[in-house]
Amino acid sequence: MHLVIIGGSDAGISAALRARELDPSAEVSVVVADSFANFSICGIPYYVSGDVAHWQDLAHRTLDDLEATGMKVALNSLATQIDPLERRLQITDALGKECQLSFDALVIGTGATSIVPPIDGFNGEGALGPTDGVHLLHSMGDTFELMLSLERLAPKSAAIVGAGYIGLEMAEGLHAHGIAITQFERLSEVLPTVDNELGKRVRDELCSHGIEVFTNSTVRRISHAPSGSPGRLLIESINSTDQLQNVFVDIALVVAGVRPDVALAKEAGISIGPNGAIEVDRAMRTNLEHIFAAGDCVETHHRLLGTTYLPLGTTAHKQGRIAGENALGGSSEFAGSLGTQVVKLFDMAVARTGLRDHEAARAGYDPVTFEIEADDHKAYYPGGHRITMRFTGDRSSRRLLGVQLFGHRDAAVAKRIDIAATAIYHEMSVDEISDLDLSYTPPLGSPWDAIQIGAQAWTTMLLRENAQEHYPGTRV
């Protein structure tokens, strides 16, 4: 049995490890396009900030660790063609030599590539690039180019185009170098994966650290600044009222999201879904026999939405493990994602799981969303913090559909979003959250955890809303 895996990030390595666990006699070969097998791309902002001392610390496992499991890892080897009928993969190896690998089963884990937005001077002929201090950020190679710019240019100012998770983390990372940051977001609020009410709180946190934020703002052009300008680059943007905004900075970082990398799969005749990702079933099978796919290049089964595209590291690990098992003849299925995410921003953390109100409505639910605040632990114990919570539940079934949290980094926001994710996974009602047997000690929580207080408040508010609707003037 020879299992060949394309891609050495989360999905690919998870597939290889699972295959070796299940069948130590199986030959497993991993083809990696660069030198960085099993590196944590999610950790890049913390290497940039200096929180992670050395880039090698971002490796989940060293090459020696991987090879000790019995897998073969071909670094700097580019997969160029899949022959599904002959079951052969053509590659260009580290020496530039063309060769072929025969396989019994193949796992595609090519991941995603950075979206390059239509910004004049950033794409097309004559576009500015890393040597000019203009960067994308998605790979270790991108990271080294950015770090070289920080050393070579000693920038005093930077523009970040995009205010999603990576954009926010990079704002903090560059701020740690004493760099003045201007952040641009084309949508109405930063961190568009949470409601605007929480996005505004995130923006306030950015501004409190001196970061200038432009929302409803589309960057149209990046160019060299005129001589004598207070920066090397000119960033030209336009807002929703057609006002032009010009900002001078020394470096620019474009983090506008990712798209699935499917060119190799598409050329081989593998079906691509309407969202541009590889079509797979819940066993991670493609439409071609003996070929599986997993990670940021594939569609995702969402437990509340069905088929979607939702690139997340946690999802890639799970899908890769399933693909590796099923490539050996197993029958595991991906249970589905809820889009559970958390990000730290300076001293605060924001998290979400499940659906927001408008997402639930589009999915056919009758959603009700309320915002609630609660203490992270008993108020009489020093050092307490308030957590802002947004609960979304279905009006008729009272099923919990989604939760969003914003609070101090010491307020166990990640733990509490995981409680909510578990409840949604098991299709619990909002009312049933109160029945959970959660831990309590005054320095860390309350007899009713903040999540339970939020659920109870949602129930009370819905009761009050229904009473006012049917019996105006009623007090509840």
pLDDT at 125: 75
Nearby residues of 382 by Cβ (< 8 Å), 6 or more positions away: none
Nearby residues of 225 by Cβ (< 8 Å), 6 or more positions away: 231, 232, 233, 234, 248
Domains of the chain with CATH codes: 2-43+54-113+258-327 (3.50.50.60), 130-254 (3.50.50.60), 341-470 (3.50.50.60)
Q: Are strands 400-408 and 348-354 parallel, antiparallel or unpaired?
A: antiparallel
Q: Cβ-count burial of 376 within 10 angstroms (0-12 exposed, 13-18 middle, 19+ buried)?
A: buried
pLDDT at 475: 45
pLDDT at 321: 98
CA 205, CA 146: separation in Å to the nearest integer?
A: 25
107: amino acid identity, one letter: V
pLDDT at 474: 45
Q: Determine how many CB atoms are found less than 10 A away from the CB of residue 312.
A: 19
Q: Provide the residue-wise pLDDT of the chain in tens; the chain has 476 residues.
A: 999 999 999 999 999 999 999 999 999 999 999 999 999 999 999 999 999 999 999 999 999 999 999 999 999 999 999 999 999 999 999 999 999 999 999 999 999 999 999 999 998 778 999 999 999 999 999 999 999 999 999 999 999 999 999 999 999 999 999 999 999 999 999 999 999 999 999 999 999 999 999 999 999 999 999 999 999 999 999 999 999 999 999 999 999 999 999 999 999 999 999 999 999 999 999 999 999 999 999 999 999 999 999 999 999 999 999 999 999 999 999 999 999 999 999 999 999 999 999 999 999 999 999 999 999 999 999 999 999 999 999 999 999 999 999 999 999 999 999 999 999 999 999 999 999 999 999 999 999 999 999 999 999 999 888 776 655 554 43
